[in-house]
A = this chain, B = another copy of it.
Amino acid sequence: MQRIEKIIEQIGPLDKEAMKQARERQDFLTKPKGSLGVLEDVSIRVAGITGSPMPEIVDKVIVTMAGDHGTAKRGVSAFPQEVTAQMVYNFIRGGAGINVLARHAGARVVVVDMGVAADLEPGPALVNKKVNHGTKDMTEGPAMTREEAVRSITAGIEVVEEEMEKGADIIGTGDMGIGNTTPSSAITAVFTGRDVRAVTGRGTGVDDAALENKIAVIEESLKVNRPERSDPIDVLAKVGGFEIGGLAGVILAGAKNRVPVVIDGFISGAAALIATGLAPQSKDYLIAAHRSVESGHTIMLEHIGLTPLMDLNMRLGEGTGAALGISITEAAVKILREMATFADAGVSESE
């Protein structure tokens, strides 16, 4: 916990002077003022995050964290639990959606075993931070111990610190874990105070009966555990997941290291609820890539205070939305660095 507290202390405010300079530069570039809309806003925020009025994004990293869930056996997902491990191998071989979209965005994918139920084959392409072999069934008690919750966040911090040494300029978050929309909905219900039903969707695509069961499972978990909203570690321990805790650590360490953290969909959003619960100022370092189909996603983003860049009707996870969001963020930053000014280009300004 000391490591987490130390990271939180080191998350400072955005650099207002860099933002001011970036905003001024945007107004000198050869375009009507404000005409690149969200791209201008993003470039200014990245200036504030990095402390540079002309930031550069070269090394792009997507951290995709995998974990299993005790509640998966309660019929909350359309897929069997073994798929988590199978998909981790798919990530390593480069055949999954995140691999395709990360290559398209020119980003590296760092695959992390945070708590897959199976023993995965070790290899250079898999970061082993396994906290346990899946969480416990949270309808019967806490998903994990408080110590495991702390360890999962710390593991996420460690992963980012390692990537910072390699030169990461931007970090995307991604997840894999059969059943993990269930804890994510539970976390959303706790932090936003909304009804479980309002924040629970179909995940991988369950039918009406399975959706009702999923809502009942989440309600039961909250009743049994009574997570305390003012104590995000308690929420994570009681109704969370190892990959969710890991991603919360990724967000905190990204903010501490002053790199933009592009968050993916619903599971990354649950991690952001934990992270911003622990360190409200970390919100300023987050860029929400897209609005997920998952019904609770809009509610959680509004609670955090984020507006997503895109709405492409996606709900895959893995960091697929983050990959597209990284590309948009890079485009925004390139506008600031590469466009000619009115003076440079000899173009007349508005009258």
A residues bordering B, Cβ < 8 Å?
A: 29-39, 78-80, 82-83, 86-87, 89-90, 93, 95-97, 99-101, 103-104, 204-205, 293, 309-316, 320, 324, 327-328, 330-331, 334-335, 338-340, 344-351
A153 → chain B closest CB, angstroms: 28
- B95 pairs with A35, CB closer than 8 A: no
Q: Contacts A320-B36, A330-B104, A339-B95; is A345 near B90 (CB within 8 Å)?
A: yes
Q: How far is the CA of A96 from the CA of B328 in the complex (A)?
A: 17
Instruction: Select one of B29, B82, B335 contacting A348, CB under 8 A.
Output: B82
A34: chain B residues at CB < 8 Å are 205
Q: Contacts A37-B313, A39-B314, A348-B82; is A97 near B320 (CB within 8 Å)?
A: no
Residue of B nearest to A210 (CB): B351
A29: chain B residues at CB < 8 Å are 97
- A350 pairs with B87, CB closer than 8 A: no
- B345 pairs with A89, CB closer than 8 A: yes
Copies of the chain in the assembly: 2
A227 → chain B closest CB, angstroms: 28
- B38 pairs with A347, CB closer than 8 A: no
A38: chain B residues at CB < 8 Å are 312-314
- A312 pairs with B39, CB closer than 8 A: yes
A39: chain B residues at CB < 8 Å are 312, 314
Q: Contacts A30-B97, A310-B310; is A104 near B334 (CB within 8 Å)?
A: yes
Q: How far is the CA of A31 from the CA of B315 in the complex (A)?
A: 10
- A79 pairs with B339, CB closer than 8 A: no
Residue of B nearest to A101 (CB): B331
Q: Contacts A104-B331, A312-B39; is A348 near B80 (CB within 8 Å)?
A: yes
Q: How far is the CA of A312 from the CA of B307 in the complex (A)?
A: 11
- A86 pairs with B346, CB closer than 8 A: yes
Q: Contacts A335-B97, A335-B101; is A345 near B36 (CB within 8 Å)?
A: no
- B348 pairs with A83, CB closer than 8 A: yes
Q: How far is the CA of A95 from the CA of B342 in the complex (A)?
A: 10
A339: chain B residues at CB < 8 Å are 95-97, 100
- A86 pairs with B347, CB closer than 8 A: yes
- A32 pairs with B316, CB closer than 8 A: yes
- B335 pairs with A100, CB closer than 8 A: yes
- A309 pairs with B309, CB closer than 8 A: no
Q: How far is the CA of A86 from the CA of B293 in the complex (A)?
A: 44
A326 → chain B closest CB, angstroms: 12
Q: Contacts A331-B104, A335-B100, A348-B82; is A205 near B315 (CB within 8 Å)?
A: no
A312: chain B residues at CB < 8 Å are 37-39, 309, 328
Q: Contacts A36-B320, A204-B35; is A79 near B350 (CB within 8 Å)?
A: yes
Q: How far is the CA of A308 from the CA of B31 in the complex (A)?
A: 23
Q: Contacts A89-B345, A205-B350; is A31 near B101 (CB within 8 Å)?
A: no
Residue of B nearest to A206 (CB): B350
A313 → chain B closest CB, angstroms: 3
Q: How far is the CA of A29 from the CA of B293 in the complex (A)?
A: 19
A316: chain B residues at CB < 8 Å are 31-32, 35-36
Instruction: Select one of B90, B93, B328 contacting A324, CB under 8 A.
Output: B328
